[in-house]
Amino acid sequence: MNEHEDYLFLGAGTPDPEIVALEHLLSPLAHDGCELPLERLGPDASHRATLRPWLWLAAAMLVSLAMALALSRATKLQRGSSSRTFVAQQESLTLPLEPFGQVVLQGGAELEFVHWRDDELRVRLRRGTCVVEIDETARQGAAFVVVETELGEVAVEEQARRCFGELSMDPGTHTGELRVHDGLGRVGSEARTVVVPAGAAVRLSLAGPSLPLFGDATDELRKMVNRAAAYAAKGVDLDTKLAVDLVATCRMPRDTLVLWHLLQTDDEVQRASAEAALVALAGRPEPIVKGPLPSWSAEVWLAFLQKGAWRYAK
């Protein structure tokens, strides 16, 4: 609990300007501690009876205003805010992340706010769907925004100027999905880490994240990715034949999202096959080298594909 929250709930700590202003607004309605002078109330109080409904209406409006302000203070998150859990009932619940974004919980979602430090803002999605919108241009030096789930962690990339994504998690089936609409996210688990650029989605399970796909991926490629996911669910690495078949199914520039992830393998044959397909579909990264493939690093390929083949897949 920070100093402002101490003042709101306990009346201690540094006074919050908004709460002080509300206290001043409500002060005319405060009880002065004196007994009610009943003897002064005569039988004819019709003029007071005329005013009384308006006084009650004004009081109700002020109380509603106080409750709305208290709710706003309870859902607004900032550096140093205390850990707490939010549950959206039937309607969505918006959690402002001042000054650079917000988290919107869809009805039925439960999210725990863990901490907001100088180096990290961390929340934990327990169930349901949350929409995260981060404007990196206003972060003022804040580093990662991390959303934990039982299926892995979703991190907003530091270099992404803006990130807008939707994360769903079903604790009953132990499955989930991440859809990124803008920016770039990474999903990490004990099994593997995948990158999800704008326009792509990835399925989550206890076996780890699947290979991500753009929305316009062909049915043939989706079937191959599902076969790869079935291998992962059994704890088995892709064999060379399936990997080569998967590479052969990648025929459009945006299919390089799958090929990029195949560069992470230790199998030289699979990696060489994936890189040859990358060059054929997206060209060669800088510096351009003639002759045999020099095998660029995965990070070089990532920067190159973000500027080209993946850029128009929103």
Q: Which two tokens stand for residue 143?
A: 């580093």
Q: Are residues 184 and 255 in the same domain?
A: no
**Angle at alpha carbon of residue 255, lines to 253 and 257, rounded to 5°:** 105
- The reply to whether 170 falls in a domain is yes
- The reply to whether 72 falls in a domain is no
> pLDDT by residue (tens digit) across 65-110?
544 444 444 567 777 788 899 999 889 999 988 777 889 999 999 9
Which range (81-90, 139-148, 205-214) has the least confidence? Answer: 139-148
CA distance 182 to 164: 5
Say how many residues make up the chain: 314
Q: Are residues 119 and 136 in the same domain?
A: yes
pLDDT at 43: 53
CA distance 193 to 210: 10
DSSP state of 77: B
pTM (2 d.p.): 0.73
- The reply to whether 1 falls in a domain is no
Which range (201-210, 244-253, 305-314) has the least confidence? Answer: 305-314
CA distance 91 to 257: 36
- The reply to whether 189 falls in a domain is yes
Between the CA of residue 153 and those of 69, 121, 177, 194, what are the distances in Å?
33, 13, 12, 11
Among candidate residues 192, 210, 228, the one where a domain is terminated: 210
Among candidate residues 156, 177, 210, the one where a domain is terminated: 210
- The reply to whether 311 falls in a domain is yes
Compute φ and ψ for 165, nearest 5 degrees: -145, 165
* CATH number of the domain residue 141 falls in: 2.60.120.1440
CA distance 2 to 81: 6
Q: Are residues 189 and 229 in the same domain?
A: no
Among candidate residues 147, 175, 210, the one where a domain is terminated: 210
Q: What percent of the chain has pLDDT over 70?
A: 68
pLDDT at 258: 97
Other CB atoms within a 10 A radius of the CB of residue 200 amount to 25
CA distance 210 to 235: 13
> pLDDT by residue (tens digit) across 23-77?
766 676 666 666 656 555 555 544 555 545 655 565 556 555 544 444 444 567 7
- Closest by alpha carbon to 87, among 95, 99, 79, 96? 95
Q: Are residues 274 and 176 in the same domain?
A: no
**Angle at alpha carbon of residue 310, lines to 305 and 313, rounded to 5°:** 175
Where in the sequence is the domain holding 116, given as residue range(s)? 80-210
